[in-house]
Structure 1
C-alpha cells in the first residue's frame, strides 16, 4: 500500500483564472478534453470550466492571465474589467493528491481577472488555439451565466467558483444596462 502524500507539507500552485464576458454579460466556459488533465477524470463529471493556468516564475499575474487566455481560447481582443480582490484557493481531493498538478501541489492559489471580449466570435478557437501552436485543452465552448458556473465545475472547485461569482457578481449587470 502506497502512503498518501502529506497535504499540509505541499504548496499551492500559483495560477490565474479568467472570466471572459461577452456583450450580453455571459461568461466563456470551455469543456475540458477528456485526456487533457488527470485532475479532470471522467468519473468526476462536470467537465466545464473557465480558462485558467499556471503563473510562470517571475511572471506578472495579469500578463499570465492574458497569455493563458490566448493559449486556451485563441482570444487576444479583451479589455480588463476587474481583478478579484484576493487569492482564491482550492484543494485537490484526496484521490488526486500526489497525481494531479504533476504530483507536487495540494491545490491551486488563483488570481482571477474579468475581461470584456472585444473581438468577433470567429476569433475564438479552442480546437487549434494560436493556429495550432498551443495544445488544445477544450473540445467545445459556450457562453453561460456567471451565476451558473459553480454548478458546472468539478465539485472540488465549486467553493472557489462561488468566490469568483461573488467577486464579479456586478459585471453581468454592467452589460445589461449599458
Structure 2
C-alpha cells in the first residue's frame, strides 16, 4: 500500500528508510560522515511523484552502492520524528518540522564488494558494518530514537 507523500503530517518531509539485512540476520549500519558516534540506516527524501519503493531503492543505491536486494517487508503508514529545537539546515529553512518515513526491509543478495560509500559523489557515510537490529535505537542520534524503536519492532521478526 503506497501512501501519498502529501496526505498526513503536512509539515513533515516525505522520506524513506532502508534496513538492509545480511543473509545471517544482521543489519547494515553506516556511520554518518563527520559524526564519529552516529550510526544509522540509509534514508533519504522522496522526489515529487516518486513511488516510495522506487525512492527506497534509489536512496540505498546512492548511499551504499547496493542494488542486489530482495524485498522482505515494509512498514504501514508513516513513522515520523521532529527535528530538535537546536537544529538548522536546508530542510528546516524550507519549513519542515520533521520527517515522515516509510521503511523498507531488504535482504542483501550481492557480494560485499558491491558496497561503495562513494558511489554517488559526496558520501553520506564514512564507514559501515553489520550489527544487530535491536542495537539501532542506541546507535542513532537521540531525536530519531523513537522512530528507530518503531522500525526495530516492525522488522524484529526478520532478524531471527
Pair in the same fold by TM > 0.5: yes
Larger Rg: 1
Matches within 5 A, 1:11-160: 11-34=11-34, 46-96=37-87, 98-99=88-89, 101-104=91-94, 105-126=96-117, 128-129=118-119, 133-160=120-147
Q: Distance in 2 between matches of 1:122 and 1:31?
A: 18
- Tell me how far 1:47 sits from its aligned partner: 1.2
Aligned length: 150
Q: Distance in 1 between matches of 2:61 and 2:123?
A: 11
Q: Deviations over 1:65-124 (max 9, x none)?
A: 00000000000000100001221000011011x535252211100000000000001100
Q: Distance in 2 between matches of 1:24 and 1:103?
A: 42
- Tell me how far 1:156 sits from its aligned partner: 0.3
Alpha-carbon RMSD across the aligned residues, in angstroms, is 1.4
Conserved? CA contact 1:30–1:142, under 8 Å: yes
Structure that is richer in helix per residue: 1
Cα gap change, 1:160 to 1:100, in 2 (>3 Å): farther
Q: Which runs of 5+ in 1 are unaligned?
A: 1-9, 35-41, 174-178
Q: Which runs of 5+ in 2 are unaligned?
A: 1-9
